[in-house]
Structure 1
Amino acid sequence: MTRTSTTPATRIAWPATLAFIVLSCALAWLVALPLWLGDGLAEPSTGVLLPVMMYTPAVAALIVALVMRVPARGDRLRFFGLWPLRPAKRVIWLIVLGWLAPPVLVAISILLSGALGWVQLDFTFAAFAAEIEKALPAGTPVPPVGVIVVAQLASIPLAALFNSLFAFGEEIGWRGWLVPALRPLGTWPALILSGIIWGVWHSPVILLGYNFGRTDISGVLFMIAGCVAWGVLLGWLRLRSASVWPAVIAHGSLNASGGMIVIFAAAQPDLALAGPLGVAGWIVLALVTAVLVVTGQFRNQPELADAPGRLLSQPRP
């Protein structure tokens, strides 16, 4: 049942919240350390270390829950949004929305980038075909590029579910633990602050050139902005459903569709502008957020458990 009360929420467990943030970031740097000591993202271990890094927020949340007992033992499943899944109908349709919406939003951001001149789109896929041939051994037979493109796009929904296995490690921390922990501040402060922290957490790999190809603070700032933009949507899924699962699936879907721009670009684009985490993505997500706000989607939220274990009535916006 959805609460309509606007009574201010209860207190924040600041020691546990700060411990979670520090642990998440410290563990991420620890996992990424071999990349910094080696050849960066060219290290052979990158494909293993990046998925491991995605589970550091979950490890941090587990440590805080077990050591600092935040949330209380009897409220942990509810606090993390793992269980119960009710009302089931709402949780299910938000899971489906989280599964299907990110590829659509990424596609819209690609079209917007093309319209603004940030990327030259090539619907003959010549550049994509050249990259495929370059990646394969000489003489390897290659199917028609149209077949490859259709197969790539058709595989996104399945890839989204696979990617959700790794996205779970992040979401159990960010939207499972952190958003409810910050929610007494109000919906918007919780969503924005959690998005900033999520972006900063990516620093160990962003500073190596991941995502944007920028190895200075500008890359981190672009990532923070992208995480705030997408974090509002993922946070809305979490708060609207009182479940972490729609955010898990949406995060996996975003990761599966994030490289879609490579298929359509005539040349390597500047992902800080044209990518789903770049400016084009910010614009699209801002429009989606505006629609959610106008339609009152942030006002209607089921009850959650707060960090000390009590039920939260709806917070101030």
Structure 2
Amino acid sequence: MNVKNNKTLRNVIIFSLVALSCGWIGRLVDLQAGKDENGSLGQLIWIVSPLLMMVILRSWMGDGWKDFGIKPRVKGNVFLYIFSLLFFPFMTMVIVGISSGLGWTDISPMSSHYLTAVGLALVPSLIKNIFEEFAWRGYLAPKLYSLGYHRVIVHIAVGLIWGVWHFPYLFLFVDTTESMITYIPRMMLGVIVMTVLYGEILLMTRSVWPAVFMHMAGNAFIDTLILKKFVLVQAEFSYLAMPSPEGILAIVLTALAGLWMYKRRKRTTLRQNPLVFPTQPKLPV
């Protein structure tokens, strides 16, 4: 491994350690302040710290900004932008339709207000996911790609770190009586398959913005549906019917979409020169 790769690996390790510790620091702050609900100072530390660490590493520790992925690159990628915006809403409708038809889910009488609630959630979700995605897809993923690892290995590594990053505040966003012993492994699998989908679109567009919009739509449509109780999933079927990452139906549909994007990119790579981040000569196929 050359000097440049050694520096990149060092910085990736620093970023990962900060990302995995900042949420627990945030939880400690919240517990000391006696305030642990949504929107706390600790949550702000948790959300913002990875992006701030990325800025430090890129600005003062030699990583640079050329593979940041901030350019939208809409030209030639319109389909991928549309897909990114619509995938999670479509998946949610499919899962709710299947599960309600089978009697696994009850639809709330207040469901007519759902789209209004989604609309109110879009802007906060966009802001939150600019911070989140420009850390994970704007830093960790491209830096690991640049080290020459196979892209599937990178997807899994990013997914594992991203999934564990959620642990300190998982209880705020999870409404379940299921044991964490069975819940967490399934949730981690769901995050990894999402990472494959996000990562393949990142590689094809060389832009973080599709991931921002996909994550925004997913949070707005899925979190609103569950946390505001517009649908009530029967406890014995929650492992199947939840449209969030831990639901088996959601995992299967997201994995199929990720596999399709993986094969789509592979076909594109075989037809033309490999799509690369500007500072890298080639990314692994």
TM-score between the two structures when normalised by the length of structure 1: 0.73
Per the alignment, do residues 44 and 16 of structure 1 end up closer, same or farther by CA in structure 2, a change over 3 Å counting?
Answer: closer
1:173 equivalent to 2:128? Answer: no
1:81 equivalent to 2:69? Answer: yes
Distance between the aligned counterparts of 1:65 and 1:152, measured in 2?
41
2:18 to 8, 19, 23: 23
The structure with more helix, counted as a fraction of residues? 2
Q: Which amino acid aligns with 1:283?
A: V
1:1-317 equivalences in 2 (<5 Å)? 11=5, 13-36=8-31, 43=35, 45-48=37-40, 49-70=42-63, 72=64, 76=65, 78-83=66-71, 85-86=72-73, 88-114=74-100, 120-122=104-106, 125=107, 128-129=108-109, 145=110, 149-153=111-115, 156=118, 159-183=121-145, 184-206=148-170, 208=171, 210-211=173-174, 213=176, 216-259=180-223, 260-261=225-226, 262-265=229-232, 267=234, 271-275=238-242, 276-278=244-246, 279-296=248-265, 299-300=268-269, 302-305=275-278, 310-316=279-285
Distance between the aligned counterparts of 2:179 and 2:32, measured in 1?
15
Q: Single out whichever of 244-253 and 223-232 deviates more from structure 2.
A: 223-232
User: Greater relative contact order (Cα 8 A, min sep 6): structure 1 or 2?
Assistant: 1
Please list every run of 5 or more consecutive structure 2 residues that lacks an aligned counterpart in the other structure. none
Q: How far apart are 1:243 and its partner, in Å? A: 0.3
Q: How far apart are 1:291 and its partner, in Å? A: 2.7
Distance between the aligned counterparts of 2:122 and 2:78, measured in 1?
16
Q: How far apart are 1:163 and its partner, in Å? A: 0.8
Find the residue that maps to 2:105 and give its secondary structure: coil
Distance between the aligned counterparts of 1:185 and 1:168, measured in 2?
26
Is the CA contact (8 Å cut-off) linking 1:167 and 1:248 kept in structure 2?
Answer: yes
Superposition CA RMSD, Å: 2.9
Please identify the structure whose Cα radius of gyration is greater.
1
Distance between the aligned counterparts of 1:215 and 1:33, measured in 2?
24
Q: Which amino acid aligns with 2:38?
A: T
Per the alignment, do residues 281 and 105 of structure 1 end up closer, same or farther by CA in structure 2, a change over 3 Å counting?
Answer: same
Please list every run of 5 or more consecutive structure 1 residues that lacks an aligned counterpart in the other structure. 1-9, 130-144
Distance between the aligned counterparts of 2:172 and 2:185, measured in 1?
13
Q: How far apart are 1:172 and its partner, in Å? A: 0.8
TM-score between the two structures when normalised by the length of structure 2: 0.80
